[in-house]
Amino acid sequence: MGVSEGIEGKVRQDLASLGGYVPSKAPENVARELGLREEDIIKLDDNENPYGCSPRVQQALGNCTYLYTYPDAGQTELRRQLQEYIGVDASYIVADNGSDQLIDNVLRLFLEPGDELINAIPTFDIFRVRALVYGGKLVNVPRDEDFVIDAAAIKAAVNKNTKMIVLATPNNPTGTITHQPDILELADTGIPLLVDEAYVEFSGETVTKLVNQYKNMMVLRTFSKWAGLAGLRIGYGVFPPKIAEYLMKLKLPYNVSVAARVAVRETLKDTQNLMSKVKAIVAERERLFTELGKLDWLKPFPSQANFVFCHVLKGKASDIQQALHDRGILIRYFDLPLLQNSIRISVGKPEHTDALLKALREIGS
Ligand SMILES: Cc1ncc(COP(=O)(O)O)c(C=O)c1O
């Protein structure tokens, strides 16, 4: 082999050609590009919490003396705190650095090359990407025109090669909820079912407490959205205890940082304050939905999460995203087979909604 050939030919070719997850643009880069200050960027592209984390977290992190030690690999205190918060025994709980990482670990635990994973599309793209990383075969079952899952079609897609069903509720990017009877219908197939409840604090509907009644149900949750801790990376899941045990073994030992553990401890002492912010976001979501519906070139969809998804009826979604970007307002656009000409806008503070609506009216006129 000549020196010029390098080592790239040795890598897994399926990974080399994998279409990866498209992340958002960092606001500091946008600010630099536009000659703005970072604090002037209105960030409505990643479903973060515009009110930030609890002030208790900020303060405790400043006073944290144990950043030089590794965290407890067994997550003893963390799992106990989560047990108290969700009312499920600690033996069912595993935490990781974001629920993204738990999606990855769960798929790694279950999928062998060629195994089928049923995915209710359009949905969170990490399911597709990480399934492909582990050699999984995606079986895509489309949602209906209102993005409601087709439980009958999902059940009909089950065959001897089916290893898992994944379901985000509320769904990203559409905000659609899947109600408990439909989730349980999928659980009744006996196929391992991963329910991703990243936005559950905004919808209030959860199946977390049913995990101990089903041998095959797993639920993922996160502190990124309701608790404003996206930057610290802390998510957790509720699993049948044997699966939790395997995941504890599979995870990297010190996966949740000391800082994230301090943040969880303080967050859980401040839930009343944080849930009042969640309530404000839900109220603002409804205002955003109503106001977007007044623009005759957008069709917003009802949402149970902290964002609103819209079809663009006139003009191009990418042009709208770019025009907002040029004004320092960041949103997401999609132009994919099942997400044609659409945008997704995270719910901000009322002043962010006002700035967004003003910009949209200018762009649309
Ligand atoms: C449905 C869904 N699941 C999981 C995640 C990942 O969250 P985390 O920040 O906990 O990794 C997101 C983030 O946008 C999401 O939308």
Query: How does pLDDT run across 202-238, given as a tens digit for each residue?
Result: 999 999 999 999 999 999 999 999 999 999 999 999 9
Bridge partner residues of 336 (DSSP) = 339
Please state the domain extents for the chain. Answer: 11-52+272-364, 55-267
> 143-161: buried (b, 16+ CB within 10 Å) or exposed (e) per residue?
beeebbbebeebbebbeee
Cβ atoms within 10 Å, residue 294: 10
Give me 50's structure tokens: 């515009």
Give me 355's structure tokens: 């700035």
Average pLDDT, the chain: 96
Nearest residue to 344 (alpha-carbon basis) of 127, 171, 148, 220: 171
Beta carbons within 8 Å of 240's beta carbon, 6+ residues apart: 92, 211, 212, 214, 215, 216, 217, 218
Beta carbons within 8 Å of 188's beta carbon, 6+ residues apart: none
Residue 2 in this model has a pLDDT that exceeds 70: no
Q: Name the closest-CA residue to atom 7, ligand 1.
A: 99
Q: Name the closest-CA residue to atom 2, ligand 1.
A: 198
Residue 159 — φ and ψ, nearest 5°?
A: -145, -170
List Cβ<8 Å contacts ≥24 apart for 177-181. 177/203, 177/205, 177/304, 178/148, 178/149, 179/205, 180/205, 180/207, 180/210
Q: How far is the CA of 250 from the centre of ligand 1 (A)?
A: 20
Q: How far is the CA of 228 from the centre of ligand 1 (A)?
A: 12
Residue 68 burial (C-beta neighbours within 10 Å; 0-12, 13-18, 19+): exposed
Q: Name the closest-CA residue to atom 15, ligand 1.
A: 198
Q: What tens digit of pLDDT does each residue of 292-329 get?
A: 999 999 999 999 999 999 999 999 999 999 999 999 99
Residue 99 in this model has a pLDDT that exceeds 90: yes
| One-letter amino acid of 75 | Q
What average pLDDT score do residues 319-346 get? 95
Nearest residue to 284 (alpha-carbon basis) of 36, 34, 49: 49
What does CATH list as the number for 55-267? 3.40.640.10
- What pTM, to 2 d.p., does this model score? 0.96
What average pLDDT score do residues 72-76 get? 98
Q: What tens digit of pLDDT does each residue of 239-261 get?
A: 999 999 999 999 999 999 999 99
Q: Locate the ligand 1 atom nearest the alpha carbon of residue 101 and give its number.
A: 11
Helical (H) or strand (E) element with 138: strand 137-142
CATH topology of domain 11-52+272-364: Aspartate Aminotransferase, domain 1 (3.90.1150)
Residue with the two structure tokens 């089903």 = 214
The ligand 1 site (C-beta within 6 Å) comprises 47, 98-100, 124, 168, 172, 196, 198, 222, 224, 230, 235
Pocket probe mutation, ligand 1, options 225, 307, 332, max atoms within 8 Å of Cβ: 225
